[in-house]
Amino acid sequence: MNKSWNIDLVGELADEEYVLNTIDKQAVYINSQNAIQFYVRIISKVPDSFPNINLVICYATDLEKWGFEDNYHAHPIDRIRALKHFLRDNLVVFKPQRKVLFDHTEVYVGREITLLPKSESYNEKIKLIPIPVFSKEEHGHSYPEFVEKLRNRKYVGRIEAISNEPNDTPEYILWQNDEVEFVIFGEFTGHNYAHGGFTFTTKKAIKSAPFQSDWLDDSYENEHIMFVPEEIYMYISGSISAANAMYPQADLPKDTKEALGQTAVGVAVSDTSSPAVKKNHPTPNLEIVPDREYEGQLQSESEVTEEKLMERFVQVTREQGLLYEQKDLYNFHTAMKSSNLVILAGMSGTGKSKLVQAYGKALGLYDNYQMTFIPVRPSWTDDADLIGYADTLHMVYRPGDSGIINALLSAKDNKKKLHIICLDEMNLAKIEHYFSQFLSVLEMESGPRRVLRLYNEELENRLYNSAQYPPVIPIGDNVIFVGTVNLDESTYHFSDKVLDRANVISLSILPFGTLRTLTEEAQNAVEEKRNPVKRESITFDLYDSFRNNSQEIQMNEQELSVLWEIHEELQKINKNLGVGPRVVRQIDMYLKNLPNTPIFTRQDAFDLQVVQRILTKVRGPEEQLKSFLGTYDRRTENINDSTLVDILDRYEEVSDFYETRNVLTQKTKELKINGYTL
């Protein structure tokens, strides 16, 4: 059955390799009617009910009104090259349509095409989020009237090209004034849509903030919708969090209403401008509810949700000038609450240690030993270097100077407090040596057997400080282990024993163009510290409530089939290779603990788990791995004869495996150039 969606989506001309790997077709080709067709990869957020597809097909004839002229008499290669050149610097806005062909196969077509020039900071990993834009010109009411309608939950107008489905409530909306400046309002949790357009509801008081002019340079406006990149969306979230909250009009005291003449807070009836224009606009003498979360005071535990925690985590990373994608932050948080060990990998100087610090700051971990950083030393050869040893000559236990024992004792005595232990540059020494006891202990179920042994019980009555340092220390669920690693010639690589127990996250960074904005945010954070407000620590019980600790496997049949087929092919290469039941359970635990957010979907998460839990162990010579990974063709930049690609292609409904394919490309390049991959 054919179906059309009256919404605008944004995409770009799909990469040749991506289309080939995804659907085994060319990105641009000439059809049987001698017309050019091309695939567009969707880069904007889609409605909740939209099918799990990333590619739509478009026709070059729809580009004629934008100036593209197809020379039907030219050589096909020249025609295709001309179209690629034409779309190289443009994004494609389209309305999607599903068509069912005579053989019952479905194709998705882009219609009503509009072109938008790419911004200077555009990059191929961009993800755009649509925000509706309201204005006097389009919707007929002034700014004060708009604010009053918004606050009293009245209809504020129609936006035709954005989804109005119940599950697609925009968190933020924009007001545009005559001078083409914008104001943000939010954050909204529900909406209705009828003849009068949108009405918005929120569980909180509505807030507003200026939409910064430099954000416009990297955003895309079309048909009263502003498509903003994820990183700008995070800035919007931070701006709204930092703004003062406004009472709903209905909740204002009667005398205050009379004093304001029933106008919106901070806006005079005769004023038709917005705060984005009049920076020093006078505000009536009205009590404002401060945003206590953003200023640091985490509210009572009943009010703290995982969503609020992640908002704070994202904001803290921005304040500290960290250039990480928001998806990586959700990946890190999910791994931290579901894994025995998390390892952050990446090039030196990208802020891996600062990311762990930012996470602790977002959690409000200030007490001694709640955040313990341990710089690993190259000289460490066994666990005594980390945890210490029993000195039987002087009959005392001598803990290592790393501080890990004190942190574990603190966690034992303070079971309601969360503790994070970070091993910084943990592969400067062999992890299997100095961390060996932990690798075994962390695999055990919570209970009396999950203990770290310092020395034998026979020595307990003979050691002078055994009361301070008992023979065993229980490791509870309120302890999270994380490590940072640099993968270079000065470090050791991981063994399968470590990789089987860890989520290895390779962090990518945002374009350097965002450094200026992040530096400004970091400076603002420094200014705010002149009057610091200490955040309350999130208790372990609250953090644990965000976890799903069910032991029941909840992956669906298709997801399990992907893992099984990969396991079978790895077993053909080497009986010591494979996915293994432990890894399957750990992937399932990770997926069960995904936060409810469109920023990081289950498809994204499964893709990353294949990278982090499976491909990290696929290493060796070309003759061993060639059939599984495939052969990299330098001329076409494609991967040929790959068993893994064939598996991924068969399970498109599970994920597009974008990150998996990127890692696969890198590994096949290494096989081609070096004869082996690490």
CATH of the domain at 80: 2.40.50
Question: Would you say residue 513 has pLDDT above 70?
Answer: no
Question: Would you say residue 533 has pLDDT above 80?
Answer: no
State the DSSP string of 326-392.
HHHHHHHHHHHHH-SEEEEE--TTS-HHHHHHHHHHHHT--STTTEEEEE--TT--STHHHHEEEET
Residue 314: which H helix or E strand, with range? helix 306-319
Residue 506 phi/psi, 5° resolution? -90, 115
Contact predicate 586/613, CB 8 Å:
yes
Token pair, residue 118, equals 């790419």
Whether 530 maps to a domain, the answer reads no
Residues 59 and 179 in one domain: no
Q: Give me the CATH number covering residue 366.
A: 3.40.50.300
Question: Kind of pairing, strands 128-135 and 172-176?
Answer: parallel
291-309 mean pLDDT = 58
Whether 348 maps to a domain, the answer reads yes
How much is the pLDDT for 181?
A: 84
What is the Cα–Cα distance from 223 to 474, expressed in whole angstroms?
Answer: 60
Whether 292 maps to a domain, the answer reads no
Q: Nearest-5° angle of CA 418, CA 424, CA 425? A: 150
Query: What b/e string do you get for 129-163 counting C-beta neighbours within 10 Å, with b at 16 or more?
Result: bbbbbbbbeebebbbbbbbbbbbebebbbbbebbb
545-556 mean pLDDT = 92
Whether 277 maps to a domain, the answer reads no
Residues 497 and 430 in one domain: yes
Whether 289 maps to a domain, the answer reads no
pLDDT band at 29 (very low <50, low <70, confident <90, very high): very high
Whether 73 maps to a domain, the answer reads yes
Torsion angle of C-alpha atoms 230, 231, 232, 238, degrees rounded to 10 = 110
Cα dist from 615 to 37, 586, 620, 628, 666, whole Å: 35, 15, 12, 11, 11
What is the Cα–Cα distance from 341 to 499, expressed in whole angstroms?
Answer: 10
Residues 6 or more apart in contact with residue 522 via CB below 8 angstroms: 319, 320, 321
Contact predicate 34/49, CB 8 Å:
no
How much is the pLDDT for 536?
A: 64
Residues 189 and 208 in one domain: yes
Domain finish residue from 501, 525, 549: 525
Residues 244 and 375 in one domain: no
Whether 232 maps to a domain, the answer reads yes
Contact predicate 614/579, CB 8 Å:
yes
What is the Cα–Cα distance from 177 to 453, expressed in whole angstroms?
Answer: 67
Residues 586 and 657 in one domain: yes
Question: Would you say residue 292 has pLDDT above 50?
Answer: no
Cα radius of gyration rounded to whole Å, the chain: 28
Tens-place pLDDT, residues 617-652: 898 898 899 999 999 988 888 899 999 999 999 999
Domains in the chain, number? 4
pTM for the model stands at 0.57
Q: Which residues constitute the domain of residue 241?
A: 128-260
Residues 448 and 357 in one domain: yes
How much is the pLDDT for 637?
A: 85
How much is the pLDDT for 516?
A: 56
How much is the pLDDT for 410?
A: 92
Which own/partner contact pairs does 665-674 have at CB distance under 8 Å and 24+ positions apart?
A: 665/17, 665/632, 665/639, 667/615, 667/618, 667/625, 667/629, 668/629, 668/630, 668/631, 668/632, 668/639, 668/642, 669/632, 671/622, 671/625, 671/626, 671/629, 671/631, 671/632, 672/622, 672/631, 672/632, 672/634
Domain finish residue from 72, 96, 117: 117
Cα dist from 485 to 342, 422, 425, 589, 656, whole Å: 11, 11, 5, 24, 28
Residues 464 and 328 in one domain: yes
Residues 384 and 508 in one domain: yes
Residues 102 and 134 in one domain: no
Residues 112 and 133 in one domain: no
Beta bridge partners of 357: none
pLDDT band at 230 (very low <50, low <70, confident <90, very high): confident
pLDDT band at 11 (very low <50, low <70, confident <90, very high): very high
How much is the pLDDT for 678?
A: 78
SS3 category, 226: strand
pLDDT band at 65 (very low <50, low <70, confident <90, very high): very high
Question: Would you say residue 285 has pLDDT above 60?
Answer: no
Domain finish residue from 58, 93, 117: 117
Residues 154 and 250 in one domain: yes
How much is the pLDDT for 134?
A: 95
The proportion of the chain whose per-residue pLDDT surpasses 90, expressed as a percent, equals 52
Residue 313: closest CA among 352, 349, 351, 361: 361
Cα dist from 112 to 127, 191, 207, 278, whole Å: 21, 27, 35, 38
CA within 13 Å, CB half, 61: 7
Whether 227 maps to a domain, the answer reads yes
Which of 36-45, 248-257, 504-513, 544-553 is least confident?
248-257
Residues 354 and 502 in one domain: yes
The proportion of the chain whose per-residue pLDDT surpasses 70, expressed as a percent, equals 86
What is the Cα–Cα distance from 516 to 158, expressed in whole angstroms?
Answer: 36
Label residue 64 exposed, middle or buried (CB < 10 Å: 0-12, 13-18, 19+): exposed
